[in-house]
Chain A
Amino acid sequence: MLKILKYSFYDLMRSRWSYVYLAFYLMLGIVLLFLNNDLSKAVITLMNVIIVLVPLIGTIFGVMYYYNSKEFTELLLAQPLKRSSIFMGQYLGVALSLSMSLVLGLGIPFIFYGIFKSNAIWDFSLLLITGTFLTFIFTALAFNIALSNENRIKGFGYAILLWLFLAVIYDGLFLMSLLVFEDYPLDQFSLFASMLNPIDLSRTLILLKLDISALLGYTGAVFKQFFGTNFGLIISFLALSLWVILPVFRIVRKSKKKDF
């Protein structure tokens, strides 16, 4: 598996898109830090960008990589290699190179800004950790979609729909349900509902860490009570891990039964 990982990683490192992605985060980091001069505001803005953009890039890259490396995959399948190691190697290659672009692209400007001396370092680390989680989650989901769809147009379509649903539509439905059922106690429900969507979960995690939960009113207080504690933090990370593990598990299972 490590050999496949190595080749997929190299392959992506040589492609222009990894650099474009890295350059984008570098620019974003520099602009936000040096024009804004306020670290926690910069972290909030970054969060808003990351929460939407990282899943989108993960999904698109994952689907694109799978379809583009079809020939490479077929070549590998005739070699004495396990299917699970071929697909896991490719998945980890994509997810790791994307995470690296993210961490390096944002990390470098922040290091120059002096993040190590500031007390925002934990907020910032949390941002990078959730960003990495989101990359792994959405690349895995993208691989799932691509494995199940022979037709690339369909694959791309479903991938975009998935992103749209989790990043935009889910929130809309969530808010609507809050309005419709406003006469009922909803804190448990909203807590549960935000656990079910990795994007919402990441957002809540960061927002509460940033201590602006007072803005969220009563539900915010409930959230703070839950996510603010170590228990909540552990549960949230468990939920995020589950969001990685389940799709990865399905990649392995699906790839074993597929015809090439």
Chain B
Amino acid sequence: MVSIQNLHKQFNKNVVLSGIDLNISEGGIFAVLGPNGSGKTTLIKSILGMVIPNKGEILVLGKTIKNNSTYRNKIDYLPQIANFPSNLKVKELIKMIKDLRGNTTEDERLITLFKLEPFLNKKLGNLSGGTKQKVNLVLTFMFNSPLIILDEPTTGLDPISLIRLKDLIQTEKAKGKTILITSHIMSFVEEVSDEIVFILEGKIYFKGSIDALKTKTNQPDFEHAIASILTDNHA
């Protein structure tokens, strides 16, 4: 699905990614983890072509992403901070994205699912953070793409919406899609993900199942396993 070879990226003098090699196979949920500033978002943005790497190659569905934009048709992306043009209404934004990407009828189902009907005629600038995130989720899930990338999907969501999001992720997984998630909520990661990729100081520190990580770090539960990596490497 996604194959990354020797990826390097630095912003001015700040080295963020230094030689990432990663293969993400088709189907399943992958969690990209790491401390703040470890380069998770940079990695995701490189896959999306928003960040141009200094070195290395990224293949999505077997094709290089360099000088290519059509491959993004196969990716649904949920950005970390829901920043939308504030003078646009929710309805108009959904219509616009549909106009740009092709039609879909999924949006109505998702709007009902997240109870967004009362907000459709409101401007995006006037919405609360959680509601914006729901709009963000609708925009992401309304297209039926084989690769879904979620950057901190749980930010600002209330408990009911969180349950709905988890259900949504599971149904998408059942369709055989590949889902890439970053999150700092360890319980959420433990619940949904099949495999985790741990990034530390711009390199892949660990890739494998949660059980494998527990045995590697000798910790009984997932949260402590992650914490032990961080303390061992920062002590």
Contact = CB atoms under 8 A, between A and B. Distances in A.
Contact of B85 (A72, A82, A260): A72
Interface string B123-139: 00000000000000000
Please report whether the interface of chain A is mostly helix, strand, loop or mixed according to DSSP.
helix
A3 B52 CA distance: 25
A77 interface: yes
B83 A7 contact: no
B99 interface: yes
A78 B50 contact: yes
A233 to B, nearest CB: 40
A185 B8 CA distance: 58
A258 to B, nearest CB: 8
Interface string B30-42: 0000000000000
A80 B50 contact: no
B96 interface: yes
B72 to A, nearest CB: 4
Contacts of A182: none
A21 B48 CA distance: 38
14 contacts: A3-B99, A7-B96, A11-B87, A70-B83, A71-B83, A71-B85, A72-B84, A75-B79, A76-B100, A78-B72, A78-B79, A258-B52, A259-B45, A259-B51
> 7 closest A-B pairs (Cβ-Cβ)?
A71-B83, A80-B72, A80-B73, A72-B85, A78-B77, A259-B51, A260-B50
Given A79-B72, A79-B101, 16 more contacts: A3-B99, A7-B96, A15-B87, A71-B85, A72-B84, A72-B85, A74-B50, A74-B79, A75-B79, A77-B50, A79-B97, A80-B73, A80-B101, A81-B69, A81-B72, A259-B51
Interface of B: 11, 45, 48-52, 69-73, 75, 77, 79, 83-88, 96-97, 99-101
